[in-house]
């Protein structure tokens, strides 16, 4: 895959870890956010996989690249296959038009990064 695309994804992952550690120590708001996040994505009435697919759609429509990276990885770990993720991306495109197709390009890079494009 494109080296600069790979590098960008690796930077997102590195920065997320560093900042998570920083804000966990220094922000009580962030700490409560983390608890909210844990609850939002736990198995419940909906399985975690469904929730991660919802988050992929939202990330697409709001163009949050780091969110796409995180939730696509989580969805893959929950057993989501490439076609399912592409259809979640499709819902995101329907809900955001042209800018959604731009975000979908980064999502494609993430799928490639995690070996989910043949």
Instruction: Return residues touching a second copy (CB under 8 A).
Output: 2, 4-5, 7, 11, 14-16, 18-19, 22-23, 26-33, 35-37, 39-41, 44-46, 50-51, 53-59, 61-67, 81, 83-84, 86-102, 104-105, 108-109, 117
The minimum distance between CB 113 and a second copy, in angstroms, equals 13
**Which 3-state string (H, E, C) describes 37-92?**
HHHHCCCCCCCHHHHHHHHHHHHHHCCCHHHHHHHHHHHHHCCCCHHHHHHHHHHH
The minimum distance between CB 89 and a second copy, in angstroms, equals 7
Residue from 48, 55, 60 nearest 102 by CA? 60
Tell me whether residue 73 or residue 86 sits nearer to a second copy (CB atom).
86
Could you give the angle at which helices 82-94 and 65-77 cross, rounded to 10 degrees?
150
């Amino acid at each position: 895959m494109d080296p600069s695309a790979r590098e960008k994804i690796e930077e997102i992952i590195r920065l997320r870890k560093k900042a998570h550690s920083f804000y966990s120590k220094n922000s009580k708001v962030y700490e409560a956010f983390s608890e909210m996040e844990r609850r939002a994505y736990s198995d419940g009435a909906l399985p975690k996989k469904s929730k991660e697919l919802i988050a992929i759609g939202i990330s697409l429509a709001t163009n949050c690249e780091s969110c796409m990276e995180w939730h696509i990885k989580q969805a893959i770990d929950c057993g989501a296959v490439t076609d399912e993720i592409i259809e979640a991306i499709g819902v995101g495109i329907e809900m955001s038009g042209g800018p959604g197709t731009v975000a979908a390009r980064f999502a494609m890079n993430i799928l490639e990064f995690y070996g989910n494009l043949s």
